[in-house]
Chains A and B, each alone.
Chain A
Amino acid sequence: MRDICAAFSEIAGLRERNAIALKVAKDRGRKVVGTYCLFSPVELIVAAGAIPVSLCGTSATPIPAAEKVLPRSLCPLIKSSYGFALTDTCPFFHFSDLLLAETTCDGKKKMYELLGEMKPLHLMQLPQVQDEAALEYWVLELKRLMTRLEQAFDVRITPEKLAAAILLLNEERRSLKALQDLLKRKPAPISGMDLLTVLHNRGFTVDKREAIDLIDRLTRELAELSDQGISPFTAKTPRILLTGVPVGLGSDKVVRLVEELGGSVVCFESCGAYKKVDPVQPGKNLLRSIAEKYLRVPCSCMSPNKGRLQLLEQLVREFAADGVIDLTWQGCHTYNVESFTVKRHLQETVRVPFLQIETDYSESDTEQLKVRIEAFLEVIGTSRGERP
């Protein structure tokens, strides 16, 4: 797939190319805001004329450095994010004028206090319930962010700019959704690892318009290949839906193993993937519409988090998943605890084989994971009536 599809090779090199593009843009006076989480209201950043970038946090490399400060038992995502900042090895962190952070899980929240000592950081107090009062509070938090951006970058965020930003980002979500929806085809036209590569690298783009066009081109190319019957899989390949913690390149071992062992990851119900495609529903009050969209994010830090159960149920059906793997990082209490609820819900509704995997970014448990994943694929085989 990688070789026969031109748009893919272009995307594979995005992180490197954009680090340079970012430097050029900064030299021309553009401002950069680094984000860590799906709760970051990117519309405001775009409306302020700044460039939003996702910061690195999916590689094991900077974790030892982070562990000089942070407890070892902390979630690897938090340690990696902090480690990148500490070792100054994430160019996107390096070029950020401001970091945007939200009070999601406890570990992140406290880590942000330390990050704030390295760079200007704006912390949004995220409510962790999704009701009307929380929404009102969240609107105020958006206003506070707006003021901060206006002051820091000496700009005015007008309703026109905001409306344009909503349009642009909805367009981005539309293109990301269309790409992922391609994998509803049987067999999926692209592997989960390749999809992940695209979604991961896309987060480092400087020019959103260009990135949208590139994704659309990729979707078209893949659809054509698939029409010709080209796919790395067969109609019998077990289709896995991956849910749980955020994954990216570097923290992809479970995706890799599933596909090495004969499965295909057809859907990621995670932050950089399907959770991200939910658009802002335009309303009379733009800020409120944006607030609604972000507060709806079905993250495990919400309590209760019914939205995730509904989304999962829907995705299992739409993607015709044969099995669900719930990936959780060691030290992530919210996702680890919520796994029980997710399993129970899926058993009661879609009755699909379910496997929780708790791991971190290291390779030390690869052999064990192989046994587990392979046995899970065997279970899927028997549940479809194939002989083990």
Chain B
Amino acid sequence: MVAAGIDIGSTGTKAVIFDGEIRASVVVPTGWDPKAAGLEAYRQALECAGLVADEVQSIVGTGYGRVSLPIFDRKVTEITCHARGAHFLYPETRSVIDIGGQDSKVISVDPQGRVAEFAMNDKCAAGTGRFLQVMAGVLDVSLDQLGQLAVGATPVPISSMCAVFAESEVIGLLARGTDKGSIAAGIFHSIAARIQGLAGKVALSHRVTFSGGVALNRELCRAIGTSLGIDMWVPQAPQMVGALGAAILGYEA
């Protein structure tokens, strides 16, 4: 049995080929055309696994663009997929924190890797990848640099929950001469606080997997871990967890 999982997110589109283990995993930017991105990611994944489409028995789609592709045998939400993917990587996982481009989620997972409960941010972008991007933009640094800046800095409190207000708050801090390091640390802090709020709604365990592209930022991982008082498993390619979960769900069906 060979299965494919395709996760069409707001920034990146991910594809995984799975046959009991991970045979291929690729990321392409989503851009303006989620459909094209999905097909391209799939094509690359097949190539990378040395397979042709006929050899794949199941394709499961997830992510916000999952509605746009006709090739899927099944569509499953990213919440269920992240839970399943995290369970495969760390079978002990009982919670998943997933920060994606648009939303952040805290998922509680049962011993079989099934979703028991979840909480998701409301309309507001605070605590999402989008929020980080806006903030990095205000500081005029890349996401990586934002992480570097925060190392060892004392966070200055950023109290606005809304991305738009936080933006003007940060501009105000810069104008007052606050150093960028403290601001970067403050930004990470505010995301952590937001996640903590979400986590409060679903009983976060201490066996947590951190998934989603934002988890590539090691400094942010540390900030969230410290403020929640937990050690998190961070997969090598955290942005792949959803696509992996999708592929596994197809493989198991």
Residues of A within 8 A of B (CB): 330, 353-354, 356, 358-359, 364-365, 367-368, 371-372, 374-375, 378-379, 382, 387-388
Contacts and interface: CB of A to CB of B under 8 A. Distances in A.
B18 interface: no
Contact of A388 (B116, B123, B249): B249
A62 to B, nearest CB: 21
Interface string B93-122: 000000000110000000000111110101
B165 interface: no
B79 interface: yes
A136 B88 CA distance: 62
Given A378-B77, A388-B80, A368 B120 contact: yes
B102 A368 contact: yes
Given A358-B122, A379-B116, A382-B115, A371 B64 contact: yes
Contacts of A372: 79, 118, 120
B123 A374 contact: no
Contact of A375 (B79, B102, B201, B252): B79
B79 A378 contact: yes
B76 interface: yes
A378 B79 CA distance: 9
A367 B64 contact: yes
A388 B123 CA distance: 26
18 contacts: A354-B117, A365-B122, A365-B123, A368-B102, A368-B103, A368-B123, A371-B79, A372-B120, A374-B77, A375-B77, A375-B80, A375-B115, A378-B115, A379-B115, A382-B114, A387-B249, A388-B76, A388-B80
Interface size for chain B: under 10, 10 to 19, 20 to 34, or 35 or more residues?
20 to 34
A92 to B, nearest CB: 31
A120 B115 CA distance: 53
Contacts of A359: 122-123
B interface, over-half SS = mixed
B167 interface: no
Contacts of A354: 117
A371 B77 contact: yes
A330 B123 CA distance: 10
A387 B84 CA distance: 12
The 3 A-B pairs at the shortest CB distance, nearest first, are namely A375-B79, A375-B77, A382-B114
B219 interface: no
Interface string B239-253: 000000000010011
B122 A379 contact: no
B78 interface: yes
A365 B84 CA distance: 26
Contacts of B79: 371-372, 375, 378
Nearest to A362: B123
Contacts of B64: 367, 371
A374 B116 CA distance: 14
A341 B210 CA distance: 29
A356 B117 CA distance: 11
Contacts of B123: 359, 364-365, 368
Contacts of B80: 375, 378-379, 388
Given A371-B64, A388-B84, A378 B76 contact: yes
B10 to A, nearest CB: 10
A36 to B, nearest CB: 26
Contacts of A388: 76, 80, 84, 114-115, 249
B128 to A, nearest CB: 11
B180 to A, nearest CB: 32
Q: Which of A353, A365, A368, A378 has most chain B Cβ within 10 Å?
A: A378
Contacts of B201: 356
A372 B106 CA distance: 12
A388 B75 CA distance: 10
Nearest to B81: A388
A192 to B, nearest CB: 21
B204 to A, nearest CB: 16
A359 to B, nearest CB: 7
A387 B253 contact: yes
A372 B64 CA distance: 11
Q: Which of B64, B116, B117, B252 has most chain A Cβ within 10 Å?
A: B117
A356 B201 CA distance: 10
A356 B76 CA distance: 20
A84 B141 CA distance: 48
Contacts of A374: 77
Given A365-B123, A368-B102, 12 more contacts: A354-B117, A368-B122, A371-B79, A372-B120, A375-B78, A375-B79, A375-B118, A378-B79, A378-B115, A379-B116, A382-B114, A388-B249
A365 B123 CA distance: 6
